Structure 1
Amino acid sequence: MLSMCTQNSNQASEKSTKPNIIYILADQLRAQAVGYSGDPNADTPNLDRLAASAINFKNAVAVSPVCTPYRAALMTGRFPLSTGMFMNDLYLPSEELCMAEIFKEAGYKTGYIGKWHLDGHGRESFIPKNRRQGFEYWKALECTHDYNNSFYYANEDTTKLKWEGYDAYAQTKDAQDYIRTTSTDEQPFLLMISYGIPHFPHHTAPAELKEKYPLDSIKLRPNVPEWRQDEARKEAQGYYAHILALDLCIGNLMKTLEETGQAENTIVVFTADHGEMLGSQGEPSKEKQRPWDESIRVPFLISYPAIYGKEGYEVNAPINTPDILPTLLSMSGVAIPKSIEGEDLTDFISNNNMEDDRAALIMSVYPFAGYHEGIPYRGIRTARYTYVRNQDQPWLMYDNLKDPYQMENLVNNLNYRDIQSKLDETLQAKLKERGDMFLPKEQYLSIWGYEVNTERGHEIPYKNYETKVQSPGFKNN
């Protein structure tokens, strides 16, 4: 039997070798809008540098391209219809087993800075510790996009505080301070930095950055029809300015990691919760929720130099939102709980020549305000194809290698009949696995006990924090 002294020594050694994790989450940043993806407008030297030394999942897919559903799927590793988190402004119950709780149990410090959007009690309400899903260090607000007049709550203080200036810059400074203060700790940390940018309003981006994007210099994607182009350019000016600001923040974070000697043994993830249409497919510029690539595909870089080195490479296999948590746990040597439904994709990271035809599920269960057609859908995105059904019939199908701007809908095209059939079989199998019967959207409100909220106004249209269907991922099951 080991002596107590030897046991303590081994435990300390294990703590010191576990990787730190910094999860950087942008809001409404589509995969195409960064320099390393070839966007002619994007000025992102720091992200380009990170991409050159990281694993780049080229086909990262938001399971449901809306803020709250993505964040719930990220935190739990579970799908929207398993948690009931399929609309914005819902409450993710504290009983759900979530990312920070799992890492905390494994010996990690945990911290959260920025936008939360999982509490459902009001966008400016104080969120008490028992509703923070295991995050200890806390400087966050449920939701705001008033970037130059942005508030937050710090730890247990119920006083509403204000970020100085443009909030992304102030949040980055706070994250840098957190990284510095933990640099001598034996205990590893998990820090999530959740920015509000580049989500609209776009015109509130720093003026000196907007000046770098004259309207007549902005190049739009070929799938933006002429009648949408003036609006799209106007929005794109601020969108790309926000992205440039985001890139500056990433540069400062990476510099601090290097200066503190923690870069080698830190997993850095850079991604977003969903994209933005910016006029593509004729859709309104500021919208998401759609099944097209501008909405569902997000950047996803993951760097871990101590294990994977500094030679970046690309992975074509799609990574879906519920896959992120089990993959991070596996990379960190932490056991994956049984409640998690996503897949551990470390094999794809270790061997980028693996078969790349896995399918990522995409869904819109209850489209809300802004989605003028309000079409619920279920679909899959593979490395090559997109296939989407509405409740009545196949809706969209694209060969994304031949048609990267998704301008030719191949549904019921005789030349693609066999491929469509196989894609439909794959989608149906995934829905069966998830127990998703693809019901009319109104039925899901009844199933989950959501009631129209007449007390809190439009910002919280449905209330679910008083009643919730108990699901298999609850900690007390």
Structure 2
Amino acid sequence: MPQVDHPNVIVVFTDQQRWDTTGVHGNPLDLTPNFDTMARLGTHVLQAFTPQPVCAPARAAIQTGRYPTRTGVYRNGIPLPHDARTLAHHFRVAGYRTGYIGKWHLSLSEPVPPEDRGGYEFWLAANLLEFTSDAYRTVVFDESGAPVLLPGYRSDALFDAAIRFVADQVAPDGSGRRRPFFLFVSLLEPHHQNEVDTYPAPDGYAERYQGRWLPPDLAELSAHGGTAHRHIGGYLGQIRRVDEGLGRLFDALRSMGLLDDTIVAFTSDHGSHFKTRNSEYKRSCHDASIRVPLALRGPGFDGGGTLTRPVSTVDLPPTLLDAAGLDVPEDMDGRSFLPLLRDPSAAWPDEVFIQVSESEVGRAIRTSRWKYYVTAPDAHPWDDANATRYVETALYDLANDPYELVNLAGMPSHRNVAEELRARLVARMREAGEPEPVIEPAPEVPTSRQRRVDPTVHTARWTPTRFGHQPRA
């Protein structure tokens, strides 16, 4: 393949990590000092969301830059089609060495056969890593399909493998890299260990964080069920260890002289609501399920500051290609957000679009202020990729209810808001190639006369008077 002069690219991809586990999002436990440094020195996407809060669809989207219904992987148990063009294909054409390490979850076979590997060359992965490994016994498969036991705690073992891959791309005499590389590192943590439904952190890590902090939504909802109180220590302990591995990866890049020539992106497939919204950990419209951390370092991103516009992780593939100087395929649903770093007022959608499967067939848009969600009562959540009839199910005012504890769907006070968001959701569904839907308004819900949405109230300035507070124009 031809030699090209482009930056290396590494994606670090966690599984089931909430956005509010990071210090830059206000977490008080100092869980992610390395991610926080990455976000401060590079580019931090403040409002990042998955296009689908379940493993395989989210993974198909981040490999292809296309929505799950567009790839056909709208739920778990559907392999990525062989004709799907992934990041690996695009980087290989440009002369990159490509590698995949960790969890794949886009095949039906274990080990994953070559034709199911999305075009990656180097391969050290398992389709369902949660079933081939446990916390201290990480079994993956190499290019020949042979099992490989990686020593150490699972996230450490995968970071070690990533560092070895990077080292192998550097000339033996230390004179520099052989050719640019694209590496996708897919961790299992902080996902639960399925067969025992626990979050096995390294020895001592769960105890360090158990009982110290809960996100407000979990603190409120766990009183009525869910597993947060039981699992939060292990979950947060896993995240701390992942962040330590991220720091070792940056140290290795620095020691090999690659830090300034390598883009590193860190994000997750979806979040976790700890069974407070349904009987599972995700598969809901709530930010606990859909909002994820996202930060980037390296060429094009260092000094980028904080990006405040809503961004979907379906936008990450075209952004990485754009940052590497490669053409972005026209069939990608996502778009590069590099123009926003140069000009925050650049044209950009005011919302992200989310598809939900398995628990129900649902569709949502999420703006900086509003969450609007509809479900298809006649659709089968496993068999149907989409529907033509939906019913309004949830409306949240995130400016005043950031943890989505008060559902405003059906309230007369918010009818105009719902109508506007309904039209915007229909437009996004059409853009994603879905059939024209009918969305029925939610049944009317009686509400206090104090509930209202009046734009003048939100823009008025208030000054104290003798008899209370009165608005001033």
Q: TM-score scaled to structure 2, two decimals?
A: 0.82
Residue 312 of structure 1, CA deviation: 5.0
Matched-pair contact (CA < 8 Å) for 1:280–1:294: no
DSSP 3-state at the match of 1:267: strand
**Structure 2 residues without counterparts, runs of 5 or longer:** 171-175, 377-389, 439-473
1:116 is matched with which residue? 104
Counterpart residue number, 1:252: 248
Matches within 5 A, 1:266-277: 266-277=262-273
Aligned to 2:311: 319
In structure 2, what is the Cα distance between the partners aligned to 1:439 and 1:261? 53
Aligned-pair CA distance for 1:226: 5.0
Amino acid at match of 1:44: T
CA contact (8 A) 2:206 2:234 kept: yes
Q: For residues 219 and 338 of structure 1, do their structure 2 counterparts lie closer, same or farther at Cα, with a shift above 3 Å needed?
A: closer
1:359 maps to which of 319, 330, 351: 351
Partner of 1:181: 168
1:288 lines up with 2:282 in the alignment: yes
1:418 to 406, 416, 437: 416
**1:159 aligned onto 2:146:** yes
1:260-409 to 2 correspondence within 5 Å? Answer: 260-278=256-274, 280-281=276-277, 283-284=278-279, 287-304=281-298, 306-309=299-302, 311=303, 313-354=305-346, 358-365=350-357, 367=358, 374-391=359-376, 392-409=390-407
- What CA distance in whole angstroms lies between the structure 2 residues aligned with 1:41 and 1:253? 22
Q: State the Cα distance separating 1:303 from its structure 2 match.
A: 1.6
Mean Cα deviation higher: 191-200 or 143-152: 143-152
What is the aligned partner in structure 1 of residue 233 from structure 2? 237
- Note the alpha carbon deviations across 1:367-396, whole angstroms, 9 max, x for none: 1xxxxxx33211111222111111242111
Using the TM superposition, give the Cα deviation of residue 338 of structure 1 relative to its aligned residue in structure 2, in angstroms: 2.8
Change (3 A) 1:323 1:152: same
* Distance change >3 Å, CA 50–CA 358, structure 1 → 2: same
| 1:50 Cα offset (Å) | 1.0
Amino acid at match of 1:221: P
Give yes or no for contact 1:228–1:279 (8 Å, CA) kept in 2: no
Give the secondary-structure state (helix, strand or coil) at the position aligned to 1:32. Answer: helix
Q: Deviations over 1:290-319 (max 9, x none)?
A: 100000011111122x3343x352112222
Task: Identify if the C-alpha distance between structure 1 residues 358 and 220 changes in structure 2 by more than 3 Å, giving closer, same or farther.
Answer: closer
Amino acid at match of 1:115: K
**Cα 1:127–1:203, aligned 2, differ >3 Å: closer, same or farther?**
closer
SS in 1 for 2:189: strand
Cα distance 1:214–1:91, how it changes in 2: closer, same or farther (>3 A)? closer
- Figure out how many residues of one structure are paired with residues of the other and give that number: 412
- In the aligned structure 1, how far is the partner of 2:163 from the partner of 2:433? 43
Distance in structure 2 (CA, Å) of the matches to 1:77 and 1:63:
10
Q: Is the 1:317–1:355 Cα contact (8 Å) retained in structure 2?
A: no
Between the aligned partners of 1:61 and 1:222, the Cα distance in structure 2 is 18
Q: Is 2:128 aligned against 1:140?
A: no
Give CA-to-partner distance per residue, 1:256-314, whole Å, 9 cap, x none: 11111111121110000000003555x45x6101100000011111122x3343x3521
Distance 1:308 1:301 in 2: 9
Q: How far 1:75 sits from its partner (Å)?
A: 1.1
Query: Corresponding residue for 1:221?
Result: 216
Q: Is the Cα–Cα contact under 8 Å of residues 98 and 122 in structure 2 kept in the other structure?
A: yes
Counterpart of 1:238, as a letter, is G
Give distance in 2, aligned partners of 1:408 and 1:154. 49
What root-mean-square deviation, in Å, do the aligned CA atoms of Structure 1 and Structure 2 show?
2.2
Shift of 1:230: 8.1
Cα deviations by residue, 1:140-168 (Å, 9 ceiling, x for unpaired)? 01012223222111122x32121213221
Segments of structure 1 that go 5 or more residues without pairing to the other structure are 1-7, 368-373, 441-477
Match of 1:4 in 2: none
> 2:111 corresponds to which letter in structure 1?
F
Query: Which of 18, 24, 29 matches 2:12?
Result: 24
Q: Which residue identity lines up with residue 100 of structure 1 in the other structure? A: A
8 Å CA contact retained: 2:94, 2:326: yes
Confirm or deny that 1:90 pairs with 2:82.
no
Q: Which residue identity does 2:18 align to in structure 1?
A: R
- Output the CA distance in 2 between the equivalents of 1:154 and 1:238: 30
Which residue type is aligned with residue 326 of structure 1? Answer: P
Amino acid at match of 1:163: L
Moved more, 23-32 or 177-186: 177-186
1:102 maps to which of 57, 70, 90: 90
Match of 1:472 in 2: none
Q: 1:307 is paired with a residue of what secondary structure?
A: coil
Aligned equivalent of 2:431: 433
- The amino acid that maps onto 1:39 is N
**What is the one-letter code of the residue matched to 1:307?**
G
1:439-471: CA deviation from partner (whole Å, max 9, x where unpaired): 89xxxxxxxxxxxxxxxxxxxxxxxxxxxxxxx
CA distance in structure 1 between the partners assigned to 2:328 and 2:304 by the alignment? 26
Q: Which residue pairs with 2:185 in the alignment?
A: 193
